[in-house]
Structure 1
Amino acid sequence: MQNWLNTIHWDSNDNGLVPAITQDYKTGHVLMMAWINREALCLTAAEQRVTYWSRSRGKLWRKGEQSGYMQILREMRIDCDADVVIFQVEQIGDIACHTGRYSCFYRVLENNTWKTVEPVLKDPNTIYSTGT
């Protein structure tokens, strides 16, 4: 039985989703934020491989299914309000962002301008055209 799923306060206005923040388990660096539903969270716990809900595609999204840069779950936590999940993961290949960067949070606000501070590690056209 999976009563632990009932602890989470799923957003009833958005198809039962909650935000999931993903961190590198070694460094604590925030890699990305995405949405999850009950099924995605259940699969993540069962498989120890992170699965999200793609709002744009309207379906489950196993991280790395196209790129090969999957996330292995090391620990899962919920916040005090039980409406946000944090995944601490081992990021396979050191690329979490669809832009080919280590993290989706690669821009910093400086002098009222977003400045890119992390390099592209691999051209995203190469990542998604070859599937690796």
Structure 2
Amino acid sequence: MTDPTNEDAAAGDAEEFELTSEHWDATGSVLDRAAFNADGLLPAVIQQWDTREVLMLAWMDREALRRTLSEGRVTFWSRSRQEYWRKGDTSGHAQYVRGAALDCDGDTLLVSVEQVGAACHTGTRTCFDGDPLAVVQGELPVT
């Protein structure tokens, strides 16, 4: 098994990995079920697989989703740079796919990952490490 912290080895494994026809069929099915928005994008919530901690939200188009499902590393579409980016290729803070699911409407993707290093470009573990917002907390009705 490849050490997930060794990006060179992991990249080599991805290039040599042969997908079965069953996997291609499953990937195609997911791509067909995904409800991309008018810009051809799908929001992807990225979650640490074992703690369920929400790490970040980014965007995928059809090709980024295909790559994510078939290569074992998370790929996004950068709306600002108009290009694909695979998390960790420049920072070393890679995301290794452990699972994925579409929501009930097919218009949001949840990707469970093994996060290596920080998920946020600011260097924090998650993109949600900022100051908590002031909210009115709801209370469950007493039954």
Report the TM-score when normalising by structure 1: 0.78
Which residue of the partner structure matches residue 33 of structure 2? 7
What amino acid does structure 2 have at the position aligned with 1:39?
E
Pairwise CA distance, 1:47: 0.7
| Secondary structure at the counterpart of residue 109 of structure 1 | coil
- 1:109 shift after superposition: 1.1
For the pair 1:39 / 2:39, whether they are aligned, the reply is no
Unaligned regions of 5+ residues in structure 1, if any? 112-132
Match of 2:72 in 1: 48
* Seq. identity, %: 47
Matched, 1:70 2:94: yes
- Is 2:115 the counterpart of 1:104? no
Deviations 1:27-47 (A, max 9, x none): 101000000001001001111
Unaligned 5+ residue runs, structure 2?
Answer: 1-24, 136-143
Name the structure 1 match of 2:141. Answer: none
Task: Tell me the SS of whatever aligns to 2:133.
Answer: strand
More strand by share: 1
Which amino acid is the alignment partner of residue 104 of structure 1? C
Q: Which structure would you say has the larger Rg?
A: 2
**Aligned-residue CA RMSD (Å):** 1.2
Distance 1:3 1:22 in 2: 21
Cα deviation digits, residues 70-102 of structure 1 (max 9, x gap)? 100000001000000000000012x10000000
Moved over 3 A (4+): none
**Residue 55 of structure 1: CA displacement?**
0.3
